[in-house]
Structure formats: C-alpha cells, structure tokens
Amino acid sequence: SQTIHQWPATLVQPVGSPLSLECTVEGTSNPNLYWYRQAAGRGLQLLFYSVGIGQISSEVPQNLSASRPQDRQFILSSKKLLLSDSGFYLCAWTSGRNEQFFGPGTRLTVL
C-alpha cells in the first residue's frame, strides 16, 4: 500500500534562517506531488506541484522554492525564512486516480 511521509513533524526556526522540509512517497511510482500551506484558521493554499523529476510549477510567488530530485521525493526550501512563512505544510500525491492523498504535515513556527 502507498504511504506518504513528511519530516520533521514540527520545526521552530528564527527569522532569516534556511528551511528544508522533505516529503517522500512509498508504494507508487510517477506520482504527481503537491505542497500546500495552511495558515492558522485558513484553508489550503497550493504552493507547488510537480509532475515529474525536476519539473516544478509554482502557484504563487513567494519566499519558498521546491525541488524534486527523485521520483518519490519532494523538498520545500527557503534561503531566508520570514515570519509570514509560519504555518502547517502539507505534502500530497496523486497517481492517476481522482483523489489526493495527504501526508501528516509539518508545523513550522518562525520566530
């Protein structure tokens, strides 16, 4: 069966520090991968999606970037975090079926 992992589960970082969040999917190949952000009390905002290795589409301009170095690995990064980057980051995947499967999320607090 397919599973999706995210780490770390929680992260507290100072403003201006770098960021790297990782998402990996098991049990499937060639998935589409997504990064969402959920700010406190708000819905999901799609940040990036990827249909294959090295293929990244950005939905909103921001302080973040994404990379897909391997088929089942999706990384969210920042060179310098802002206070506004705080939130709950969710990775999701789909593989031709009409639903998205979500990871457990990473809670990021920028101080």
Partner 1 sequence: AQSVTQLGSHVSVSEGALVLLRCNYSSSVPPYLFWYVQYPNQGLQLLLKYTSAATLVKGINDFEAEFKKSETSFHLTKPSAHMSDAAEYFCAVSEDNYGQNFVFGPGTRLSVLP
Where on the chain is the footprint of partner 1 (CB under 8 A)?
6, 32, 41-44, 46, 49, 88, 90, 92, 94-105, 107
Query: How many CB atoms are located within 10 Å of the residue 36 CB?
Result: 22
Q: Which is nearer to partner 1, 49 or 74 (CB)?
A: 49
CB of 15 to partner 1, least distance (A): 23
Taking the complex as a whole, how short is the minimal distance between the CB of residue 84 and partner 1, in angstroms? 18
- Shortest Cβ distance from residue 13 to partner 1 (Å)? 18
Residue with tokens 């639903």: 99
Question: For residues 39-73, b (16+ Cβ closer than 10 Å) or e, as one string?
Answer: eeeeeeeebbbbeeeeebeeeeeeebebbbeeebe
Q: Report helix, strand or coil for 9.
A: coil
Q: Which of 10, 84 has the CB closer to partner 1? A: 10
Nearer to partner 1, 29 or 98 (CB): 98
